[in-house]
Structure 1
Amino acid sequence: MINTALSQELEISKRKKDLGRIDANFHADFREKTVYDPFDFSMAKLKLTRKFQKRSMQSEEIPKEHRNYRSVKKQKDKFIRYQIDPSKLVVFPTILTEYLSPTGQINHLDSCVGLSAKSHKRLVKAIKRARNLGILSPIARDLYFKQLN
């Protein structure tokens, strides 16, 4: 009986100590002689720090081979690998027609396998310039250039 009363008193005293303590998530650690902003005391700041903590934890969970997805995509890109600037391919319609649909529309990035977004933008720019110069047909893909390959 005495043991249970003592254990209950210990639990109550622990709870009282916990009530006076503020959780670390709800306050920032300020060091001496640092300048702080009123934003540092707002709930928006707390949400922002939690957001960055979640991102850092998620990046640790991602396997190493998936972390550098962009660099892997750049390695597969033909134009980057051979150091060719796609925007300078205006006068080569045989290359540009590979990236056009049969109706003459420019293929989307997803259907252009092995191209980075940057190379695709430059390729689109080259196709539009070739159309403006009259080298490529704006209506349909030229079969003449396809037969040369």
Structure 2
Amino acid sequence: ILNSGDSVTSSYVSVNILIAVGSVIMILGFLGCCGAMRESRCMLLLFFIGLLLILLLQVAAGVLGATFKSESERLLNETLYENIKLLSGADKEAEAFQKALIKFQKEFKCCGLVNGAADWGNNFQENYKSCECSSSSDACVMYEGKQVYEQ
């Protein structure tokens, strides 16, 4: 849903990374299975080294994530504010983003990105149905005469 920079390029990069990681894990699993069936020390050693490398990469990613947490939050907030502009836009990119956010809001029972229903700007009246909630819920607020999710 979130766009930052060239959305087409960044989505392909993400997909390629996921495919590569999945392929490596599948090959490692096959190596471990074959090594166990054939009782091959070499295959099992390669399997162990592969799993150890994956563990080390996960630990490194966790440390980097903790170290650069404030930078990550800043980038996320910048991206959110860029995308808020798309909620009140009317071009094709804005409409595609709005459709994706409407699906997201319905699934997670929420409204808007940062400031709730106000993020929708001029487009709120035509898109409020995805933000609507039952009056019995504590998470609801009134916005422009409609009962919508607060967050």
Q: TM-score, normalised by structure 1?
A: 0.26
Higher-RCO chain (CA-CA 8 Å, sequence separation at least 6): 1
Q: Which has the higher helix share?
A: 2
- With structure 2 as the length reference, what TM-score do the two structures score? 0.26
Structure whose alpha-carbon radius of gyration is higher? 1
Quick check: which one's strand share is greater? 2
